[in-house]
């Protein structure tokens, strides 16, 4: 079994970006009901808010001031904190991998603008922190959200130490910046991930992998990509196996639960089951 961390705070669930139907509380409650947070190799960490100084390493003060007026500033601080703390715990070797539950998105936030339920670029802030404080340099971001991670691409466009693989509407390969098309079935999407992602990770050799797991690809969510709830833990298996081969299993799953409650309630326990190597669910075996 692996040591898995789950990072969450009530502020994230209570103040999640409601416009996108973020079923954050329901997803976390399912982890509790299934007893996954009481296991010896699964640790619940209470996410802590980050300081404005950390945000300023990526975004200017003008963006911070705009987010303060949005009503989602506090939720953003805790959401960033979940990913930043998970990054630190993984890179220090205290846990093997993590599920970081956020109440807002991140990948549509560039350095100076934001949209689509994303206010600050969470991955960029965590990577900047890791580079400054944890001695790591090379990172991979695998973004399977239904939309293009335009903000993340803008921030890391010229950074050759970040591999950004985004599943969106286009199909292009520019070295460490890759766009791949989505698919409208579980089998086709899983096959595309298996064919295109592990070998790129192996060639790049990141020290850690971030998976932006967008549940908006579910057939009942607004992204309408027609995937079922059984697709996500299978994605996790592919990415975890790749992480085992290239970076000692250092995989951080950032999830915003942007789907109806029944999806989050099903998916989150099975993601933790895969990450922790529990084999609790028959469909995961």
The predicted structure's pLDDT at residue 243: 98
Instruction: Name the pLDDT band for 208 (thresholds 50, 70, 90).
Output: very high
**Closest C-alpha among 247, 255, 253, 256 to residue 274:** 253
Residue 207 has pLDDT above 80, yes or no: yes
Instruction: Name the pLDDT band for 168 (thresholds 50, 70, 90).
Output: confident
Task: Give CA–CA dist 139/112, Å, rounded.
Answer: 22
The predicted structure's pLDDT at residue 137: 98
Mean predicted confidence (pLDDT) in 176-198: 95
Sign of CA dihedral 119, 52, 76, 156: positive
243 to each of 144, 208, 211, 250, 253, how far by Cα in Å?
Answer: 16, 8, 11, 6, 12
List the chain domain ranges. Answer: 4-139+183-284
Residue with tokens 């079994």: 1
21 Cβ contact partners less than 8 Å away, ≥ 6 residues apart:
221, 222, 258, 259, 260
- 218-227 confidence digits (pLDDT tens): 999 887 789 9
Mean predicted confidence (pLDDT) in 151-172: 93
- 51-95 confidence digits (pLDDT tens): 999 999 999 999 999 999 999 999 999 999 999 999 999 999 999
On whether the CB atoms of residues 141 and 184 are closer than 8 A, the answer is no
The predicted structure's pLDDT at residue 54: 98
The predicted structure's pLDDT at residue 18: 80
On whether the CB atoms of residues 100 and 12 are closer than 8 A, the answer is no
Percent of the chain with pLDDT over 70: 100
Instruction: Name the pLDDT band for 22 (thresholds 50, 70, 90).
Output: confident
**Closest C-alpha among 34, 73, 91 to residue 209:** 91
- 237-262 confidence digits (pLDDT tens): 999 999 999 999 999 999 999 999 99
Mean predicted confidence (pLDDT) in 185-190: 96
H helices, E strands: number in the chain: 11, 9
The predicted structure's pLDDT at residue 155: 98
Q: What is the CATH number of domain 4-139+183-284?
A: 3.40.800.20
Chain centroid, CA 180 distance in Å: 18
- 82-140 confidence digits (pLDDT tens): 999 999 999 999 999 999 999 999 999 999 999 999 999 999 999 999 999 999 999 99
DSSP conformation letters of 54-123: HHTTTS-HHHHHHHHTTT-HHHHHHHHHHHHHHHHHHHTTS-SEEEEE-SSB-TT--SS---TTB-S-HH
Task: Give CA–CA dist 110/271, Å, rounded.
Answer: 28
Task: Give CA–CA dist 153/81, Å, rounded.
Answer: 21
Residue 39 or residue 283, greater confidence: 39
């Amino acid at each position: 079994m692996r040591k898995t961390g789950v990072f969450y705070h009530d502020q994230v669930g209570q103040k999640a970006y409601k416009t996108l139907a973020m079923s954050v509380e329901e997803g976390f409650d399912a982890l509790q009901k299934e007893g996954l947070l009481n296991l010896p190799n699964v640790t619940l960490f209470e996410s802590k808010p980050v300081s404005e100084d950390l945000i300023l390493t990526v975004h200017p003060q003008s963006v911070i001031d705009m987010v303060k007026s949005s009503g989602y500033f506090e939720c953003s601080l805790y959401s960033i904190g979940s990913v930043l703390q998970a990054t630190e715990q993984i890179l220090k070797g205290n846990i093997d991998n993590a599920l970081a539950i956020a109440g807002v998105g991140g990948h549509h936030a560039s350095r100076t603008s934001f949209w689509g339920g994303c206010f600050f670029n969470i991955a960029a802030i965590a990577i900047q922190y890791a580079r400054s404080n944890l001695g790591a340099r090379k990172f991979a971001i695998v973004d399977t959200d239904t939309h293009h991670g335009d903000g993340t691409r803008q921030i890391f466009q010229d950074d050759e130490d970040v591999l950004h693989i985004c599943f969106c509407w286009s199909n292009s390969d520019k070295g460490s910046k890759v766009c791949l098309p989505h698919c409208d079935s579980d089998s086709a999407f899983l096959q595309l991930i298996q064919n295109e992602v592990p070998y790129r990770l192996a060639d790049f050799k990141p020290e850690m992998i971030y998976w932006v797991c967008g549940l908006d690809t579910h057939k009942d969510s607004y992204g309408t990509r027609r995937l079922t709830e059984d697709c996500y833990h299978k994605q996790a298996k592919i990415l975890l196996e790749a992480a085992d081969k290239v970076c000692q299993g250092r995989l951080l799953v950032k999830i915003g639960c942007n789907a109806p409650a029944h999806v989050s309630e099903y998916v989150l326990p099975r993601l933790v089951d895969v990450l922790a190597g529990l084999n609790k669910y028959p469909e995961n075996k």
